Amino acid sequence: MQSISQNQQDELFMRLAMKQAIRALRRTAPNPAVGALIVKNSKVLAKGYHRSAGLPHAEIDALRKLGASKAVGATLYVTLEPCSSHGKTPPCTEAIIASGISRVVYGATDPDKRHRGRASRILRKAGIVVREGVLAKECSAINAHWNHRASTGLPWVIAKAGMSLDGRIDSPLHISERRWITSAASRKEGMRIRASVEAILVGGGTVRTDDPALTIRDIKIPEDQPHPWRVVWSKSGKIPKKSKLLTDAHRDRTLLFTNMTLRRVLQELSMRGISSVLIEGGGHTLGEAFKRKLVDEVRFFIAPVIQGGRVPAVNAHITPAHLNEVIYTKIGSDVMISGKIIKV
């Protein structure tokens, strides 16, 4: 460790802090996932991460594991600029100053304009050496959805659909029984996508037609990971009382919005601290999302079948939406096309 430069050492320990932050993903809404490390004489003394909203932030988690006075003269590595304002917990800057930490190294800057750079000023005024922006891009990427919500007031929106080669998401008229269009492998991948977001949104028509559960099945997720919110956008609000969304074990995680634009629904979800939303349909809801330019990312599963159904995946007249960072993935017998919408 002595043979490498200070900058190299900072990057090494920041990567270890990032591993702690990744442990916090999908558990901390409405807060970001943050990891921290306390290091002295090139030795890691304590690790920490933010486990849930209302619980200690990553810096405090690490300090409490270390104990009083043992942090004096040490360096704190944290993936996000320490908080400097009162919320559900006191400012981390106060605890850092009180601990005797002599140097703070952080990765991403707080995207909130009210707090951005404030921690650095407070810590430096207290005589603490601060280095900012170490692996900032990598640290910021951990909380990409949270950053988006903080800067735009809207959650990150992923549009997902399983469709035939001719772009249909329903069965032909002459087939009375609903059938899966995409393969079992694609449906399993869809579950992984569900597990990566904080909310799943469908239109009222989808609930009335399909009675979806919108649960995570056939894959393992951590026991302490909360189930995504299940959101229904319905003009009429007429949802069958016996629908799975209203009667199953996750019924307390179901939200129904009526007489609102889709943009307003997403704003409401943002205000609830929800940073990522997966729109799964139907065609009218996806069409409205694209028409109003609310989609940030696309995950479309295309099956090798032409079936001539009535409902297109995007059922609206829209301005063409172009993708970048496009990836084509073969999943079972299907192809998943994913990419991010180019915003203009």
Question: What is the gyration radius of the CA atoms in the chain, in angstroms?
Answer: 23
| Token output for 28 | 């901390």
Q: Beta-carbon neighbour count of residue 220 at 10 Å?
A: 7
The dihedrals phi and psi of 304, each to the nearest 5 degrees, come to -80, 65
Of 71, 70, 131, residue with least CA distance to 104 = 131
Contact indicator for 225, 26 with CB cutoff of 8 Å: yes
Please, which residues bridge with residue 174 across strands?
Answer: none
- Residue carrying the six token digits 């200690």: 56
Please report the sign of the dihedral spanned by the C-alpha atoms of residue 195, residue 189, residue 147, residue 133: positive
Please, which residues bridge with residue 324 across strands?
Answer: 340
Hey, which residues are catalytic here? Answer: 59
Please, which residues bridge with residue 232 across strands?
Answer: 202, 256
Q: Cβ-count burial of 304 within 10 angstroms (0-12 exposed, 13-18 middle, 19+ buried)?
A: exposed
